[in-house]
Amino acid sequence: MNDVKNADPKRKAGEQLPLAFSHDAASGRDDLLISERLAAAVSIVDAWPNWPSPVVVLAGPVGSGKSHLAGIWKEHSGAEVIHPKVGSDAAVTAANGPVLFEDADRLGFDDNTLFHVINSVRENGTSLLITSRLWPMSWPVSLPDLRSRLKAATVVEIGEPDEALLSQVIVKLFADRQLYIDDKLVLYIVNRMERSLNAAQTIVERLDRLALSRGTKITRTLAAEVLNELGNSEPAD
């Protein structure tokens, strides 16, 4: 088996990573890996348009799968993307059909505009899906009427991915690239990586590109190099 230690040291200093080859990373509903932490969020997406309330908030940490689920819902519902800020026509858009507002806590919003969006959704029988890292009660909302509307929303929390899900995700990401690696290597990576789906995608992409640039297989040594570059340390014994 090839190993990073056998690579030409002169080449490593100035190696040229190949252009990122396009690969079909399956991201549809049928390709979604469902674990206990995702079950409630998947159920609410699948239940549309029969939601318990017209406004649903998916709350979870970075890399938890919110955007993946939001993308599935957007495709299924035909929703338009909005950003409720001053001067936007978000409320008008919401009157005409389902709308999606992603990263509410990160992008921010105008209280009055979001309030009118929610009213528009309620009055016209449409739907609003919001994604956020934080629960709505943690958003900096100063308008009492908006806070009241948010309390009536259905909030679904997505937790951090566990080892089993991360392992499945890594295997799937490699398979999307027509690569199949040993289960022991998958476990080695999972035990040392940041607990997020974004981290899994970054690690797989870097490993693939680095292996291609050096003409080597994806090995434990190569994985350790990538993990160290990303700031992932050895787990405690």
Residue 86 scores a pLDDT above 80: yes
**Location of structure tokens 């434990």:** 220
pLDDT tens-digit map of 175-207: 888 888 899 999 999 999 988 777 888 999 999
Does residue 117 or residue 235 have the better pLDDT?
Answer: 117
Are the beta carbons of 39 and 69 closer than 8 angstroms? no
Q: How far is CA 60 from the centre of its chain?
A: 9
* Structural domain boundaries, residue 204: 163-232
Provide the domain count of the chain: 2
Q: How far is CA 141 from the centre of its chain?
A: 25
DSSP state of 134: S
> Is there a single domain that holds both residue 140 and residue 189?
no
> Is there a single domain that holds both residue 131 and residue 178?
no
Residue 91 scores a pLDDT above 50: yes
12 belongs to a structural domain: no
84 belongs to a structural domain: yes
> Is there a single domain that holds both residue 131 and residue 227?
no
Percent of the chain with pLDDT over 90: 58
CA distance 120 to 109: 16
> Is there a single domain that holds both residue 38 and residue 98?
yes
Residue 4 scores a pLDDT above 60: no
Residue 15's contacts (CB-CB under 8 Å, 6 or more residues apart) are 213, 214
pLDDT tens-digit map of 26-82: 444 444 444 566 778 888 999 999 999 999 999 988 777 788 899 999 999 999 999
pTM listed for this prediction: 0.65
Domain end (from 157, 187, 218): 157
75 belongs to a structural domain: yes
Residue 169: CATH number of its domain: 1.10.8.60
> Is there a single domain that holds both residue 125 and residue 175?
no
Domain end (from 157, 172, 195): 157
Each residue of 130-167: b (16+ CB within 10 Å) or e?
A: bbbeeebeebebeeeebeebbeebebbebebbeeebbb
Q: What is the mean pLDDT of the chain?
A: 83
Residue 225 scores a pLDDT above 90: yes
For the CA atoms of 27, 31, 34, 37, the dihedral, rounded to the nearest 10 degrees, stands at: 0
Residue 51: CATH number of its domain: 3.40.50.300
